[in-house]
Amino acid sequence: MNYLFQKGRLIDPSTNTDKITDVLVIDEVIQKISENISEDNSYIKINLNQKIIAPGFIDLHVHLREPGFEHKETIETGTLSAIYGGFTAVCCMPNTNPAIDNSQIAQNIISKSKIVHKGIIDVYPIGAATKNREGKILNNLSELKNSGCIAFTDDGSPISDDSIMEEILIQSNNLNIPIIQHAEVSSLSKKGVMHKGEKSAKLNLEGIPRESEDQMVLRDIQLAEKTKGKYHVAHISTKDSVEYVRSAKSKKLNVTCEVTPHHFTLTDDFVKKENTNTKMNPPLRSIIDRDAIIEGLRDGTIEVIATDHAPHSADEKAKKFEEAPFGIVGLETAIGLTITNLVEKGIITLSQMIEKLSTNPRRIINKNVKIAVGSKACFTFIDPNFKWKVDSQKFKSKSKNTPFDNFELQGKSVGIFNNGELFMTVD
């Protein structure tokens, strides 16, 4: 089908574009970008009324849970959640059962994603760096890349062994594919369930110290400098870790990082013992850490916003705080939280938001998208003025575990276009 998107505010940081225009798509390819493109009865016309048309958003950090944990989420429900969140692509983490540590599992995930929702969402598996994510035996990373994996990680488990991490970084350089680290020193985290500080002492909960993350990030950056590897810090959460990444960038090392909306929005003061939706790993940190994260977003040290969408069933989250699993869902609140807490407060611009949710993460995994004549059409549509209240029961995700229930937000995706398919979520 051929589509004429009319009167959209086209914002594409990769081409330094911000203007009201029409975009004509014929057979999935952008044929023309111009004001007042002549109408043709063969075009399906979509009047965007000056809503934003941006390069398709991608989430670098999503847990689809399939195979093995389909009671939490499936490829079908997770990608539907992505559609309503405004994402055209998700990168799914390998802490499944079995782990994504061989080509067959990776290819099965890709194949299934092309069937659900007419294949509108691109699903890119992230391969387990080590066998069964145990940190002991290196996987065949070349084979995983050839099967469609766009990065490697043992997410949920840190890669602690120095020699194994060094070898992975060497291969990441050779394969031009990033290693994503869940940065945590387990011997320091121990059985911690929230940030170690005054609030954890008040709640009598075992804390996870900043040093658990900081020491691992520092070690990894030193190894990245030695190997020239392609290193990415997942869900960064501490002041010193942000500073280590800033320093690495000043040395022109191939080091990047991501932050979640919950880490730039909330602090450990928000944690409530009776609300396990405030439990995540890394934990909500102090206001000092949160402010450092905001500054890192402002100055470009933090290049990527990713959700760490981590669905869990209501029964699992109903356990005592100490026993409940870490994690929250995030796909359907990411844009609203980013516009409300960053754009509306003048910390970043709309263009910089699009960089952090599309341009930059796509560059890191070599899946670039731009809105230009001759390019494949892949769009996220956004109403930055749309005001709404979070209602987790309306989430398309199978799980509803969010700390943001009843939050009033501004900004929401109103639809996506990808792989020749259009899905409008808000009229």
Catalytic residues: 308
C-alpha–C-alpha distance, residues 95 and 100, integer Å: 7
Asked if omega into 282 is within 30° of 0 (cis), the reply is yes
Which are the contacts of 373, defined by CB distance < 8 A and separation ≥ 6?
30, 31, 32, 33
Rounded to 5 degrees, φ, ψ at 388 are -155, 160
